[in-house]
Structure 1
């Protein structure tokens, strides 16, 4: 009987209404959306402006950062729908809130994977990187990426595929792409290159060390961001509805807050972070 109730709860999980979330741990979501709105919106708007400025100056590699910043900025407006759902019980706000949540969960790792693959090609396969350097290739890749993101969000929001079932393989795929790319880049950066001994003696081999630190930090924070989500999505098949929603809300809270590391790390890297 207990297993039957759990199965019934899982089948109806894609249509959970705002009343359940009002009772179950809504403070995690509202606090995360509020912090993301206050800190994430200005930071990502600044990143977007710097990236667009770089693209105008001919830096085609900035296009993935432009799209990643757009994803983050669009998601910031989920704050208003969350307020409508949790405090005013607005049923019509539920679908756009779910859509924007999936937009972040799928879009952020997708464009971060593109950035990691780009660095992988630049470090380990420079000839291929130069061949694919024209901006038209990156625009085509972003166009395909946006189609995949919107398609995934629409079918998940409309309930054709329960998004808890579809998220796990998607996020695992993006994570392993980033993991492989980052590990290969770290391995390539550790390998001595032509003239490295001379650079070390002259004390000018700082770019390689800086790139190594940036890739390592991105890899660590990516693991910390998506690790709890992976655990929670696995618990979806084990726990009952209430316990799963608790683990899911905590994992999303951590993912949203840790996601703020990326724009601030980028601003610090380019020397535009205030007070640093």
Structure 2
């Protein structure tokens, strides 16, 4: 049985109807009932943890990502170069998070093979779009800070559109292969992808922070306010990348060293829970960096987060951050 690389839920809970139709089955044979804890009935803590993270994505992540898209549309007259990547990432996170109730219904009630295939496709989308679009964002910032002349020459949106199309092609190819199943060692594709993406994002963000910290004015000990703001932004993104991607990066390459049940019931679902919750963490981090939320009144912000409101009032008029 294929082991899905997005969650233990994606691999171990195939409906019993999945047997080939041309296979002769003894009518007296005992058919194993479909269970959300298939194979992990007495070790369900990791699977429950993953389910909780997906429910948080549905209740918090979807509104947050919708707000991100609304803000990007509102600011379309003065966009930053990474907006297209942010918008696509938010849209795909909404799609992935919206599948959670269908997933739960299918696990406990429908047990439909077609719905199961749709879920595998959705998990393939999550496996691919998050690391690839984040890598594109890191690449954009890396070139802007370390190679500003080249960045000016490559600032046209056609280059970002080309990268976006490439990411979508890779995403749909991977998701279709995942949905079809049957490919030997297919799970190794995700392990290689996440390792490469994680390494690239760490290198980019560390290089950006090092360059910003070194680029102080002559004879000045303090960093320029805009560069200091960019430094804090990149640092926060780096922390999120480490939080979401370090568990699978650190544990998945050593899969053969774990007992199969331990890996299937604990290591895999917990690691992918950290990946899945990025659908909520990423938009919240983006929203937290804004001077104010354009769709909320100052009175509402003051009532909900008085400390943020006071801090923003002390901040000078907003300027466009560096690309």
Please provide the CA RMSD for this pair: 2.3
Deviation at 1:251, TM superposition (A): 1.1
In the alignment, structure 1 residue 22 sits paired with structure 2 residue 37: yes
Question: What SS class does the counterpart of residue 13 from structure 1 fall into?
Answer: coil
Question: What SS class does the counterpart of residue 66 from structure 2 fall into?
Answer: helix
TM (norm. structure 2) is 0.74
1:1-276 correspondence runs (5 A)? 12-13=2-3, 16-18=12-14, 19=34, 21-23=36-38, 24=40, 25=44, 26-88=47-109, 89-159=111-181, 160-193=183-216, 195=217, 197=219, 200=222, 205-245=224-264, 246-272=266-292, 275=305, 276=308
Deviation at 1:60, TM superposition (A): 4.0
Q: 1:209/1:170 Cα in 2 relative to 1: closer, same or farther (>3 Å)?
A: same
What is the number of equivalent residue pairs in this alignment? 262
Question: How far, CA to CA, are the matches of 1:152 and 1:167 in structure 2?
Answer: 9
Gaps of 5+ in 1: 1-10
Deviation at 1:196, TM superposition (A): 5.5
Instruction: Please tell me whether the aligned partners of residues 145 and 211 of structure 2 are also in contact (alpha carbons under 8 angstroms).
Output: yes
Instruction: Please tell me whether the aligned partners of residues 37 and 79 of structure 1 are also in contact (alpha carbons under 8 angstroms).
Output: yes
**Structure with bigger gyration radius:** 2
Deviation beyond 4 Å, 4+ runs, structure 1: 196-199
Deviation at 1:162, TM superposition (A): 4.3
Cα deviation 1:165-220 (Å, max 9, x = unaligned)? 11111111111111111111011001134x464694xxx82221221122122112
Question: How far, CA to CA, are the matches of 2:141 and 2:2 in structure 1?
Answer: 42
Question: How far, CA to CA, are the matches of 2:138 and 2:104 in structure 1?
Answer: 35
Gaps of 5+ in 2: 5-10, 15-33, 294-300, 309-323
